[in-house]
Amino acid sequence: MNAELDLVAQVRSQFPGLDQDVHGKPLIYLDNAASSQMCVAAIEAVDHFARHDRSNVHRGAHELGQRATQAMEDARAVVQRFIGAAHEDEIVFTRGTTDSINLVAGSLGAMFSAGDEVVITEMEHHSNIVPWQLLAARAGIKVRVAAVDDRGVLDLDGLIGLIGPRTRLVSVAHVSNSLGTVNPVGEIIDAAHDRGVPVLLDGAQAIPHVLVDVASLDVDLYAFSGHKVFAPNGIGVLYGKRELLRTMPPYQGGGEMIDEVSFEGTTFAEPPARFEAGTPNVSGIVGLGAALSWLMSQDRAALAAHEHALVEAADAMLAAMPGIRRIGTAPGKQGACSFVMEGVPGADVGTLLDMQGIAVRTGHHCTQPLMRRFGIDGTVRASFSFYNTMDEVEALERGLHKVRRMVGGA
Ligand SMILES: *Cc1c(COP(=O)(O)O)cnc(C)c1O
């Protein structure tokens, strides 16, 4: 236990954003599924880049241009190691998960024809629904949706049954942002590959919580965001297998992504440059590299065990509390505890917790079809990171009792 306290104290010291009062109360930050706090390593790397190395990348003949280019390519190598990719050129920098999925829809999707199908699930974030609906409107593809049960567990057989001769892609969340459900991605990938279909995983919630190794998963495409993994906003990653990326056409045109341009025709750079048109978010890239390097220097297994204990404690606390309905009770869930308080609108719960310094998120969490599946408009979601503490879980419990007393009733 002492070792755990030491571990958490040490890790909390790396997150200056946690150390503040809100409404006169110490901040208890339980909105990590929306954005985690930034670690010192990332803050300092961004600051250092701005003070010393700021320049555009690639064509600079001068020292700062070379430093910026080096910093960007070093960060690419860090991302490669972090997710276990075989090659550096399999790492494409994007603006985030949403941008990564839109890249796939715009590029791989440009090779789909009317009647082709993309298989998703009922628990997807809007960013893994709407790009496919736009492609459906543009190119006449069909979106097939696999169901989830009352616990928030994916109907795996149902999903596999949807993979047919016209399926061009299976695109699913690795971990659900609303429910915390961890999907059986290994089985999904095996089943899709048996049928010759590639798989895109939305890893926005998995990357902060689960050790991801894209090579051993044998996943074809993997998307995640920096701001959920202790790094800056506006930066993210699309991993793609080298052979697959090389078949994919550009989806945006501009500088950096070309081989040679003429008015008769233009040839394109090899990946990843082909998908990185324009000046990249170098400062975000540098911050992402620093955050992931810092994470790799930590005892991630111990941090994950601590975090999982927090989620289990919070879940047990909510299960025992009268007038609370938990949404998402999948075994082994990660990160998020979603619930509704009977008789109290979620927004009110959120506001009354905020007055006590407790930050949670309320609403549909960009998963409206999933909310509809559970017959609700939204939930209150407490989402955890390894820098949270058991004391904070207890504070959430006291906070919810206080909310109940303030609104009256059961
Ligand atoms: C946050 C999130 C997204 C969108 O990520 P952005 O960083 O907003 O692009 C997509 N999917 C899941 C599961 C998420 O949690």
Q: What is the pLDDT of residues 18-58, one digit of tens each?
A: 999 999 999 999 999 999 999 999 999 999 999 999 999 98
Q: Pick the closest to residue 247 from 138, 57, 109 (CA basis).
A: 109
Q: Which atom of ligand 1 is nearest to the CA of 124?
A: 13
What's the burial of 333, exposed, middle or buried (CB within 10 Å: 0-12/13-18/19+)?
A: buried
- In the reported structure, the alpha carbon of residue 4 is separated from the centroid of ligand 1 by a whole-number distance in angstroms of 30
pLDDT (tens digit per residue) in 56-98: 998 778 999 999 999 999 999 999 999 999 999 999 999 999 9
Pocket test for ligand 1, best of 123, 126, 127 (most atoms within 8 A of CB): 127
Q: Which domains can be identified in the chain, with CATH numbers?
A: 2-30+299-406 (3.90.1150.10), 42-296 (3.40.640.10)
Query: 409 pLDDT band (50/70/90 cuts)?
Result: low
pLDDT (tens digit per residue) in 319-367: 999 999 999 999 999 999 999 999 999 999 999 999 999 999 999 999 9
Q: Pick the closest to residue 121 from 158, 85, 87, 67 (CA basis).
A: 158
Q: Does the annotation count 337 as an active-site position?
A: no
Give the pair of three-digit tokens for residue 106.
């715009």
Give the pair of three-digit tokens for residue 16.
């200056």
**Is any ligand 1 atom within 6 A of the Cβ of residue 127?**
yes
Q: What's CA 338's distance to the chain center, in Å?
A: 17
Kindly tell me if the per-residue pLDDT of 209 is higher than 90: yes
**Is any ligand 1 atom within 6 A of the Cβ of residue 102?**
no
Which residues, 6+ apart, have CB-to-CB distance to 122 below 8 Å?
Answer: 145, 146, 147, 148, 369, 370, 373
Question: Pairing between strand 324-327 and 265-268?
Answer: unpaired
pLDDT (tens digit per residue) in 228-267: 999 999 999 999 999 999 999 999 999 889 899 999 999 9
Give the pair of three-digit tokens for residue 192.
């899709």
Q: Tell me what pLDDT residue 1 has.
A: 55
Going by CA atoms, what residue is nearest to atom 8 of ligand 1? Answer: 98
Write the DSSP assignment of 163-194 as a string of letters.
Answer: --TTEEEEEEESB-TTT-PBP-HHHHHHHHHH
What's the burial of 150, exposed, middle or buried (CB within 10 Å: 0-12/13-18/19+)?
A: exposed
How far lies 97's CA from each of 202, 233, 324, in Å?
7, 11, 32
Q: Which atom of ligand 1 is nearest to the CA of 236?
A: 7
Q: Which of 147, 366, 390, 407 is catalytic?
A: 366
Q: Which atom of ligand 1 is nearest to the CA of 96?
A: 9
Q: Tell me what pLDDT residue 60 has.
A: 74
pLDDT (tens digit per residue) in 358-375: 999 999 999 999 999 999
Kindly tell me if the per-residue pLDDT of 410 is higher than 70: no
Pocket test for ligand 1, best of 31, 93, 202, 288 (most atoms within 8 A of CB): 202
Quote the CA–CA distance of 374 and 404 in Å, as a whole number.
23
Question: Pairing between strand 117-121 and 167-173?
Answer: parallel
**Is any ligand 1 atom within 6 A of the Cβ of residue 201?**
no
Q: Tell me what pLDDT residue 65 has.
A: 95
**Is any ligand 1 atom within 6 A of the Cβ of residue 174?**
no
Pocket test for ligand 1, best of 93, 148, 182, 205 (most atoms within 8 A of CB): 205
pTM above 0.85, yes or no: yes
Query: 168 pLDDT band (50/70/90 cuts)?
Result: very high
Q: Tell me what pLDDT residue 324 has.
A: 98
- In the reported structure, the alpha carbon of residue 235 is separated from the centroid of ligand 1 by a whole-number distance in angstroms of 12
Write the DSSP assignment of 320-348 as a string of letters.
Answer: HSTTEEEE---TT--SEEEEEETTB-HHH
